[in-house]
Amino acid sequence: MPHLATYVGLADHSEQTLADSLRAVADGHAHLADVFHTCSQLAGWSDDHRERLAPVVRRYGEEDVAEPERLRADALEYPREGEVGLLRDLQDLHLLATLVHTTWTVIAQGAQGLRDEELLEIARHCDAETSRQISWFETRLKVAAPQALIVTP
Amino acid sequence: MADRTVHVWGARTPTARGSAWPERVDVHLDGVREDEVDRWVGAACVLCSNGCGCEIAVKDGRMVGVRGRAADRVNRGRLGPKGLYGSTPWASSPDRLTTPLVREDGRLVETDWDTAMGRIVERSRALLDEKGPLSHGFYTSGQLFLEEYYTLAVIGKAGLGTPHMDGNTRLCTATAGASLKESFGADGQPASYDDIEQCDALFLFGHNMPETQTVLWARILDRIEGSEPPRVVCVDPRRTEVAVAAGRTGGVHLAPRVGTNLALMNALTRELLAHEWLDADWVEAHTVGLEELRATVEPYTPEEAARTCGVDADDVRRAARIFGESGAVLSTVLQGFYQSHQATAAACGVNNLHLLRGMLGRPGCGVLQMNGQPTAQNTRETGADGDLTGFRNWENAAHVEELARLWNVDPMTIPHWAPPTHAMQIFGYAETGSIGLLWISATNPAVSMPESPRIRRILGGDQCFVVVQDLFLTETAALADVVLPAAGWGEKTGTFTNADRTVHLAEKAVDPPGEARSDLDIFLTYADAMGLTDRDGSPLVGWRTPEEAYDAWVEASRGRPCDYSGITYDLLRERGAVQWPLGTTRLYADAEFPTSTDYCEDYGHDLATGATTTEQQHRATAAAGRAFLKAAAYSPPHEEPSEDYPLIFTTGRVVHQFHTRTKTGRSRRLHHAAPDPWVELSEADARALGIADGQRVRVESPRGSLEAPARIGPVTEGAVFAPFHYAGAGQANELTMTVWDPVSKQPTFKTAACRVVPLEGD
């Protein structure tokens, strides 16, 4: 099952990328209390997903891919400034979370095929929380957009 | 009559279970005898959220006192110390605002109405031309009348078209509204105050009723003194009078560590489920979400609650058993939950307990998600705050269309593309100048909002033009660009609604001083001066008098959960107090909840993050009249004690003062009863810090500090309590955080890390 290991590795890496990016956005927009606290909270969820996945990583191994840059997305290291910057940062988080979400979808399919109930339960649980992360990005984008686009000095 | 600043709840009139609460008429007159009073004018008290019916005594054109109305269903004649001593003295205070003020060369100077309104209109038009309606923000109150809020809502939502409207209700009742929407589909208190005489257990969650709603507490004390008293369960980190009552009645006092309410609620819920203390058929027929609820609360054993909350595991079991085995439970909830961590989830936890036992809509069974202010309910109903008028859903195009037809404006004018902007965000926009005109009515955010130094900076800066209308030159008004003198209670007519849906009419008793105008007249003056019109070019606001404004509101409420149809000024004059909807003592007697997707006020939220549920997701729940059992996992508070700041700072109220003391501070008796701020420490913490009772201390948080004398008191170890009413050196909100609940957006006043430093020389 060489490619399942690839995707287990991708899930682990993508969750880490998302967690790192969430923390970068939290710090970059720390003056917005809800962005700071919610992004920090959601980063904790991604940390938890990696912990849940750890035993599976031990079982299947993490494939050492030849060209990881072809597989993985980069973290958002440098958050943008201002209200329009926040919009763009939330869009990046949305993209990264969507990668996580579809990665869990792929893994859940693999777990079904293998009848690996442990992995299936992990994939379902984590994916449900990833969807909640995505919902928050969408909600916050909708709230911030009009003021950022029309009135911001 | 006894000095009611001392005998706060007055004499007992014991009430047996199931019998009517006896009458007891409380009167207070300032320097005149009852037979010397010229006129008595019908009203209801506005110095807490209880809504006690009263009459204003008028002598020689002045308000000189008040008398409770014996026939009123809310108070049966009683009044509390704030109402008795604080209702009228402020009105003739020499420092009332009597003319408009405008800022000239940095100073506020007296002017006339045309000049003051001219300045506002000039700035308003310039901003609309340059940036559009999103440049305008309105921050109102829980103190005005329904007619005034509705007029403001129409001006903001249909005239200008700004989503930036909120009230200080965000600080006090936003979580009440939010939790009712999440659980039942729409705002509206299910229970009735009459349930106090019917219940056999009373749960007070974070509600220090003896200090916040003294007349309602007198009603409970009368039950406790009567035959078949209810058992009282108190959830509060302080050993309040409620906790004393819990001890007397065989109830329980649970004192959770500040910020851990949700963990406790989850444990109580788990106990009900584990012992099958639930009405399984009712839950099956009338709720959705039982299995998710079960999964969410599963980790919260009583032992887990003991670890997280610092309570006794057996006390959790006993409290759950009282809830589980009583025949009729009434619960009330207030700021100990609303202004604390995970507010909406914790308040929904209370709703869940009632839903699991099917204890709603029957005598003695119900929930009162309380309000903190007398007219807060109306801010929510009319949409002068972060709600859409008439408990409508801003995401439901048909609801927006209804309002557009009613107001005869383009639906695109009505801001409905995102949730209405909450107060903390409005001040955030004002901070950057993104909002260039902020209009504040009847509230004092310079003292009442969290992190006061920041709020003062925002109001005092040049980036935003600030208009304030108030009775006095408050700390907030002193920072404004234009100050408008307003008429207060007794100087104008209007209605308001309390926390059990009781509507009262408060009539004008005397003329306002000088050039002061009613808030309704001020809003109408602005609408006229701006030339706000509907689609056909007619004036947008077609009413002039309070009664006309009220009748317009009745049309806006028709067919919605807060339907005022049939409740007229004439009916209110005849009956005194009337609940909405007319003839409805309790909501949900038929267990039919306003949760159908097309009717509900809100599609709901993720309680942990605040992410909105979409219309499709809501439809997929097929709730259709069933209530939602919603829950979330506990997470630690945003700021936990550290080495530098080892204690938790929490704020609250004292019985003799209201808000920032604008009225109560001008009553000699109330002022003398509680003239100065103080901070309360537990005996153990005081000993460890070497602080004696009465010694001056400085309390410091990462944001600011206050200085006041220490009192060794009933607060739990590790916590420091300060009343929030006082401005100046003892101002509690110097220390609090800018952080809010993800769903209700109510600021968290109850949890901030702090340290206490003893000061010498006192």
Instruction: Report domain extents, chain B.
Output: 27-92, 101-163+387-501+514-542, 174-373+592-628, 647-758
Residues 223-252 of chain B whose Cβ lies under 8 A from any Cβ of chain A = none
Distance of residue A138 Cα from the nearest chain B Cα, in angstroms: 8
Residue numbers in A near B612 (CB within 8 A): 135, 139
Two tokens, residue B150: 């509705």
- Angle of CA points B213, B214, B218, to nearest 5°: 125
pLDDT of res. B762: 46
CA closest to B130 among chain A residues: A151
Q: Which residue has the higher pLDDT, B732 or B404?
A: B404
Task: Provide the residue ranges of all domains of chain A, joining segments of one domain with +.
Answer: 2-150
A33/B606 CB distance under 8 A: no
- Helix extents (H) in B391-442: 397-407, 423-432
Q: Which CATH topology does B174-373+592-628 take?
A: Dimethylsulfoxide Reductase; domain 2 (3.40.228)
Q: Is A11 exposed, middle or buried (0-12, 13-18, 19+ CB in 10 A)?
A: buried
A153/B132 CB distance under 8 A: no
Residue numbers in B near A32 (CB within 8 A): 428
What residues does B710 pair with on adjacent strands? Answer: B679
Supply the ipTM of this predicted assembly. 0.94
Distance of residue B383 Cα from the nearest chain A Cα, in angstroms: 18
3 state SS of B600: coil
First to last CA, chain A: 55
Q: Which CATH topology does B27-92 take?
A: Phosphorylase Kinase; domain 1 (3.30.200)
The 10s digit of each residue's pLDDT in B248-286 is: 999 999 999 999 999 999 999 999 999 999 999 999 999
Q: What phi and psi values does residue B357 have, to the nearest 5 degrees?
A: -95, 5
Work out the number of other CB atoms within 10 angstroms of the CB of residue A16.
16
CA–CA dist A141, A148 (Å, integer): 10
Residue B205 pLDDT exceeds 90: yes
Spell out the residues 6+ positions from residue B328 whose beta carbon is closer than 8 angstroms to its own. B195, B198, B199, B200, B201, B359, B362, B363, B364, B365
Give the residue-averaged pLDDT of B314-320. 98
**CB nearest A139 (choices: B610, B635, B737):** B610
Q: What phi and psi values does residue B486 have, to the nearest 5 degrees?
A: -110, 150
- Helix extents (H) in B629-751: 668-673, 683-689
Burial track A76-93 (b if 16+ CB lie within 10 A, e otherwise):
beebbeebeebbebbebb
Q: Which CATH topology does A2-150 take?
A: Ferritin (1.20.1260)
State the pLDDT confidence band at A76, using cuts at 50, 70 and 90.
very high
CA closest to B740 among chain A residues: A34
Residue A66 pLDDT exceeds 80: no
CA closest to A140 among chain B residues: B611
Q: What percent of chain B has pLDDT over 90?
A: 91
CA closest to A82 among chain B residues: B432
Give the residue-averaged pLDDT of B174-181. 97
The 10s digit of each residue's pLDDT in B616-646 is: 999 999 999 999 999 999 999 988 899 999 9
Contact B143, B445 (CB under 8 A): no
pLDDT of res. B284: 98
B434/A151 CB distance under 8 A: yes
Architecture of domain B647-758: Beta Barrel (2.40)
Average pLDDT over chain A reads 93
3 state SS of B53: strand
pLDDT of res. B418: 83
Residue numbers in A near B419 (CB within 8 A): 143
Average pLDDT over chain B reads 96
pLDDT of res. A60: 87
HEC states along B469-504?
EECECCCCHHHCCEEEEECCCCCCCEEEECCCCEEE
Residue B312 pLDDT exceeds 50: yes
Distance of residue B38 Cα from the nearest chain A Cα, in angstroms: 55
Q: Domain B101-163+387-501+514-542 class?
A: alpha beta
Helix or strand (DSSP H, E) at A27: helix A2-28
Longest dimension (CA), chain B: 73
Closest alpha carbon to B627 in B353, B264, B275: B353
Contact B234, B362 (CB under 8 A): no
pLDDT of res. B716: 87
B417/A142 CB distance under 8 A: yes
pLDDT of res. B761: 55
Q: For chain A, which residues lie within 8 Å of any Cβ of chain B, measuring from their own Cβ?
A: 32-34, 37-38, 41-42, 83, 132-133, 135-136, 138-139, 142-143, 145-147, 150-153
Residue numbers in B near A142 (CB within 8 A): 417-418
A132/B608 CB distance under 8 A: yes
Residue B757 pLDDT exceeds 80: yes
CA–centroid distance for B322 within its chain: 28
Residue numbers in B near A130 (CB within 8 A): none
pLDDT of res. A7: 93
**Number of Cβ pairs < 8 A linking chain A and chain B:** 67
Residue whose tokens read 């902007």 = B421
What residues does B67 pair with on adjacent strands? Answer: B27, B55
CA–CA dist B86, B54 (Å, integer): 13
